[in-house]
Amino acid sequence: MFSFFLSSGLFLGWSLGANDASNVFGTAVGSKMIRFKTAAIYCSLFVILGAVISGAGASHTLGKLGAVNALAGAFLVAFSAALSVYLMTLARFPVSTSQAIVGAIIGWNLFSGSVTDINALTKIVSTWIICPLLSACFAICLYKTTTFVISRFTIRMFRLDLITRYSLLLAGIFGSYALGANNIANVMGVFVPVAPFNHITLLGITFSPAQQLFFLGGVAIAVGVFTYSKRVMMTVGTGIFPLTPVAATVVVWSHSAVLFVFSSQALEAWLQGHGLPTIPLVPVSSSQAIVGAVIGIGLLKGGRGIRWRTVAGITSSWVTTPVIAALACFIFLFFLQNVFQQKTYNPVEFNITQSAMNRLIESELPHTPFEPLMWETYPNGREFSKAIHSAADLTNEQARAILAIAELYEVEFSADLLWELRKGPFTKEQLEILNQLEGRTFQHKWEITSALAEQSDIFKYRPADKQWNSHLDDFFNQLMSQIHR
Amino acid sequence: MKILRTRTGIEKQVENFLDQVSLSGLIFRQGCEYYLSGKEEDFERKIQEIADCEHKGDDLRRSINEHLYAKTLIPESRGDVMELLENLDSLLDRFKGTLWRFRIEYPEICDEFHYDFKQLINAAIEANEAIVESCRAFFTDISKVSSYLHKVSYWESESDKISIRLQESIFSKKDLRLSHRMQQRDFARSLDKIADRAEDIADRLNIYVIKRNL
């Protein structure tokens, strides 16, 4: 059943490969600098590597927007996104898979009554705008540097062309890696919480369920590259090439750098280590990064040749694509749930229990207005959110924290459960600490994490260590999904 | 950064080819001068030299074309470079063809026209030198191409003026047969066409420069 439900994600991956591979290798293949077969092999290989090695970063942000918790729901989210992309492409709109998947997740949130995290949404939407702008800035800086080097060192024509050719190949490889790392979240992100995989160790390397999913998504992208991208590459190649080979290379490098910046956890850790502001890891549109870079070079040349209609198209797609995807997702979910009797989401209930109230007090969050709401169970996040907002004026941060505290997750750490957890992806040390919770019952997720933190330092969050905390979040998510299973 | 400046094999071949085009012009000038001064043996030697030069040029061009197809250059630049070399080769052919025409027809050039003929030959050679230098700059330092291109235009217009003046003189000379007048006029036109051809190549080169312009 899982493979059937995964098919929509694979379809989305296929369409991504068919369309977006042209952004990285279109110039080289379209201008016959690199043979299609060579480009397809490099592209596929590095997309898969990027997805498996660095795909987790952008996937986290997407997960925060809405954790699709049922397989049929995940199937429809990916399917709605894929269908929106297909329809928008038919209508010749510049479409982005990233924007479609975000719309579809919001559609699922609306249908399931889950609360859409406004902070995560704002972060994602702002990157849509920043992405082409940043790409334009990169292109301008890189172009200036390149022209300076060429004129300063009077590089001969044959040498320059040779460098350009290799540079374009390298940019394509880097771009493929970045595309895999950044966009795999669009293809497989919604399946991560519901994937029934266990950790696999091959040649001493352990692959998490998410990495296995990302590998499958990467393969789907590769199939898209091999089967359908040639035609698109030919169109893109001839479309961008009038820029001159050097400028085209700069465009591909800028695009790749932008995608990398929005997906690299290593870069995020480095920035954080140096006390610099971090860049949100969000899936962005590869096509819009390309157009941004082309516009950047156009501006540098005095604004000639900028297609303002394309710019307007991109701006409008920031709104139209998610709206269409959200609507499509909502309608499909309604049919699947009511006509085909499939479970499209697992209801998540909320209750301000005594322990939740104590936690609110400890966390110095508003609590007095919520006393009348105590012990009342709310069927979903939206109802609960409405109730707490009518009881008190809350900021987004406060509301999010209260939702997390009141979310019900009733579990007893029985001997049977602990036995089952042994099959999970946990280390011996982690299992020993989990065993110490035997016989205890919990009502909320945070109770489990707090109990574990009391048992050992390895389960304690570290202030200002984003990477460690994100690693810990991964562990807790795995634990919760294993318990749930 | 030395690696950015070192020459590759194909660059050496292109330079050799440009040397042949320049050399063919110099041989042509000498050949014409020997013809006009009646030094037949020297003229024959130049005929042989220009044939060798043309042969070398053809070989080099073929080898460059093979090299270009095999691995170097971005396809669009490749097309431009091949077209440029083909055009330069046609200029080389024109030098050889015109010198051979002297050899075949043995035209009787009146003494009073010798000066203008020499001037015309000089303008053609100068135009040839300027286009060869422009091409050299195209391959080595594209920013300097324009500083040579204007010289091609200058020598082409000089060539036009001399050619018209010469043709007028030929037809205003009273005691010549029409066939003799027409033969001398054809030679003047033939020489003038060399500078015209150089200017055509310069126009094409200008477009290649714009295309590659950063």
Helix (H/G/I), strand (E/B), else coil: A407: strand
The pLDDT score that the predictor gives to residue A220 is 92
Residues A301 and A401 in one domain: no
Q: Is residue A87 part of a domain?
A: yes
For residue A257, pLDDT beyond 90 = yes
Query: Number of CB pairs < 8 Å for A and B?
Result: 63
A380 lies in the same domain as A418:
no
Residue range(s) defining the domain that contains residue A382: 350-406
Same domain for A9 and A110, yes or no, is yes
Average pLDDT over residues A345-368: 84
Question: How far is A45 from chain B, CA to nearest CA, in Å?
Answer: 24
Of A31, A161, A246, the CB nearest to B72: A161
Chain A residues with CB under 8 Å of B67 CB are none
pLDDT value for A152: 84
Q: How far is B24 from chain A, CA to nearest CA, in Å?
A: 25
- First vs last C-alpha separation in chain A: 16
Regarding whether A460 and A380 lie in a shared domain, the answer is no
Tokens for A250? 């700069």
Question: Containing H/E element for A351?
Answer: strand A350-351
**Percent of chain A having pLDDT more than 70?**
95
Residue B151: inside a domain: yes
Which residues of B lie closer than 8 Å to A, measured between beta carbons?
Answer: 1, 4-8, 10-11, 14, 72-77, 81, 138-143, 211-214
Q: What does the alpha-carbon distance between residue A72 and residue A342 come to, in Å, rounded to a whole number? A: 7
Nearest C-alpha in B relative to A145:
B214
Q: Residue B89's beta-bridge partner residues?
A: none
CA distance A159 to chain B (A): 7
| pLDDT of B187 above 70 | yes
Of A67-71, A217-221, A391-395, which has the strongest mean pLDDT?
A217-221
Q: Measure B214 CA to nearest chain A CA, in Å.
A: 7
Output the CA torsion sign for A359, A363, A367, A370.
negative
pLDDT of residue A235: 64
Q: CB B139 to CB A156 under 8 A?
A: yes
Confidence check: pLDDT of B5 > 60: no
CB contact set of B46 (below 8 Å; sequence gap of 6+): B27, B28, B30, B31, B34, B99
Domain residues for the domain of B86 are 10-212
Per mean pLDDT, which range of A89-93, A177-181, A207-211, B199-203 is the poorest? Answer: A89-93
Residue B158 domain flag:
yes
* Interchain CB distance below 8 Å, B5 and A157: no
* Residue B3's pLDDT band (cuts 50, 70, 90): very low
pTM (two decimals): 0.79
Domain termination site, one of A338, A359, A382: A338
Cβ contact (<8 Å) for B77 and A245?
Answer: yes
Residue range A316-320: mean pLDDT, rounded: 80
- Number of independent structural domains in chain A: 3
CB contact under 8 A, B8 and A159: yes
Q: Is residue B150 part of a domain?
A: yes
Per the prediction, chain A carries an average pLDDT of: 83
Instruction: Please tell me whether residues A92 and A176 are part of one structural domain.
Output: yes
DSSP letter at A114 equals P
User: B3 in a domain, yes or no?
Assistant: no
* Separation between Cα atoms, residue A138 and residue A130, nearest integer Å: 12
SS3 (DSSP) at A136: helix
B73 closest CB neighbour out of A146, A147, A158: A158
Per-residue model confidence (pLDDT) at position A305: 64
pLDDT for residue B22 is more than 70: yes
- Whether residue A327 is predicted with pLDDT greater than 70 in this model: the reply is yes
| pLDDT class of A364 with cuts at 50, 70, 90 | confident
Comparing alpha-carbon positions, the chain B residue that sits nearest to A148 is: B214
Pick the most confident of A398-402, B77-81, B189-193.
B189-193
User: Which of A338, A366, A389 corresponds to the end of one domain?
Assistant: A338
Claim to verify: residue A181 and residue A76 sit in the same structural domain:
yes
A236 neighbors A62 (Cβ within 8 angstroms):
no
A227-233 average pLDDT score: 77
A239: confidence class by pLDDT, cuts 50, 70, 90: low
In a domain, A67, yes or no: yes
Q: A161–B73: do the CB atoms touch at under 8 Å? A: yes
User: Would A343 be classed as within a structural domain?
Assistant: no
One domain for residues A255 and A386: no
Which residue from B minimizes the CA distance to A246?
A: B214
What are A202's strand-pairing partners?
A: A205
A155/B73 Cβ within 8 A: no
Question: Would you say the ipTM is above 0.95?
Answer: no
User: Of A31, A153, A158, which has the smallest distance from its Cβ to B76's Cβ?
Assistant: A31
What CATH number has the domain bearing residue B130?
Answer: 1.20.58.220
> A419 and A365, same structural domain?
no
Higher pLDDT, A424 or A176: A176
Q: With the C-alpha atoms ordered B47, B53, B57, B59, is the resulting torsion angle positive or negative?
A: positive
Q: Is residue B201 part of a domain?
A: yes
Q: Do both A271 and A324 map to the same domain?
A: yes
The reply to whether B146 falls in a domain is: yes
Residue A345 in domain: no
User: Is A329 a residue whose pLDDT tops 60?
Assistant: yes
Cβ pair A246:B10 closer than 8 A: no
CA distance A136 to chain B (A): 17
Most distant CA pair in chain B, distance: 69
Any domain includes B2: no
Taking residues A101-107, report their average pLDDT: 91
How many folded domains does chain B comprise? Answer: 1
Classify residue A139: in a domain, yes or no: yes
Looking at the complex, report in whole angstroms how far the Cα of residue B132 sits from the nearest Cα belonging to chain A: 16
Contact A244 B212 (CB under 8 A): yes
List of chain A residues whose C-beta atoms are within 8 Å of the C-beta of residue B12: none
pLDDT of residue B72: 59
- pLDDT greater than 60 at residue B6: no
Q: Is residue B5 part of a domain?
A: no
Taking the CA of residue A309 and the nearest CA in chain B, the distance in Å comes to: 25
A422 and A372 in a single domain? The answer is no
B86-128 pLDDT, tens digit per residue, is 999 999 999 999 999 999 999 999 999 999 999 999 999 999 9
The residue that leads in pLDDT, A139 or A32, is A139
Q: Is residue A344 part of a domain?
A: no
Of B9, B118, B2, nearest to B67 by C-alpha is: B9
Angstrom distance (rounded) from CA A405 to CA A391: 17
Nearest 5°: phi and psi at A207? -110, 125
Average pLDDT over chain B reads 89
Model pLDDT, residue A43 = 93
Shared-domain flag, residues A169 and A202: yes
Same domain, A142 and A273: yes
* pLDDT band per the 50, 70, 90 thresholds, residue A412: confident
Q: Is residue A247 part of a domain?
A: yes
Show which of A406, A423, A453 is a domain's final residue.
A406
